[in-house]
Structure 1
């Protein structure tokens, strides 16, 4: 698949809109400084060029296209290994268990993860976005997710709060945590 100027520009606009929305959400959650550094790796060649190559219309992650083509996404492997707001980052070898296990995420990264998930839902869903969407998306993948149970429970409780009481209530609670 070839990179065109239109696809590169479309991808750039999508990731930048997403990033700016995450920054606004992080400010509401009390982690503005962290939000300012959110997803900067998406502008590196390994992630940006893949994003531009597999960009469709900004309603689907280009990493899915790379997975379909190669069976894995090099861009995603790069991204999740550098961005601590992804629960996939938080896996390490556990000597007691003798295998890799999920590690509970620090609160500041759970906050950023929530800001990221809500912004991604808004960007990908566009006008179809509802406050229930981030929770339903998260729950759909719950059966195969490799995440510390306490981290998952916290994410579910905050996304449930979003769905039931709205953004202002959820961000206010996040800010207090």
Structure 2
């Protein structure tokens, strides 16, 4: 498992670097540094490493631990739209402050940076498949247009 932990640690560092570069362009210097710090917490780190880097199928107990880790991550990071959802059944969400909307988009962009591709507008325009406040949806759409 030590190898899985090391690989996951390196992944986190690479992800944080890519998000930091995207946040820097947007003037979100502090957020770029503290982005996803919760991934280093034991409640997230170990289940994520086991799921994605152990190379073995998870037991039902480990799968449950990973689901708790994912929930923890969403609930402790304001750049995740899930953090702001009040009621998923009625699709009610609070408006996200603009800096977190921008950080969320920077997070999405970071994945294309890792794979060497430019983010397409269709990739960023997830507003039909995620639950966000109408104001947040407008912000996301404006950011998508800004990309062009």
TM-score by length of 2: 0.80
Cα offset, 1:161, TM superposition = 3.1
Is residue 123 of structure 2 the alignment partner of residue 137 of structure 1?
A: yes
Spell out, residue by residue over 1:27-51, the C-alpha distance to the aligned partner (whole angstroms, 9 max, x if none). 2111101221111000001111011
Could you tell me which of 75, 98, 118 is aligned with 1:81?
75
Cα offset, 1:122, TM superposition = 2.7
Is residue 49 of structure 2 the alignment partner of residue 52 of structure 1?
A: yes
In structure 1, C-alpha distance between the alignment counterparts of 2:112 and 2:12, rounded to whole Å:
13
Cα offset, 1:105, TM superposition = 0.6
Q: Is the 1:10–1:55 Cα contact (8 Å) retained in structure 2?
A: no
Runs of 4+, deviation exceeding 3 Å: 141-144
* Unmatched runs of 5 consecutive residues or more in structure 1: 58-65, 94-98, 166-177
For residues 12-161 of structure 1, the aligned pairs below 5 Å read: 12-56=9-53, 69-70=63-64, 73-92=67-86, 101-123=92-114, 126-127=115-116, 129-132=117-120, 135-139=121-125, 142-161=127-146
TM-score by length of 1: 0.68
Cα offset, 1:10, TM superposition = 1.3
Q: 1:136 to 1:50 in 2, by over 3 A?
A: farther
Spell out, residue by residue over 1:59-108, the C-alpha distance to the aligned partner (whole angstroms, 9 max, x if none). xxxxxxx9xx44x7111110111111111111237xxxxx7720111111
Spell out, residue by residue over 1:132-163, the C-alpha distance to the aligned partner (whole angstroms, 9 max, x if none). 1xx33344x5444211122123213312432x
Corresponding residue number in structure 1 for 2:57: none
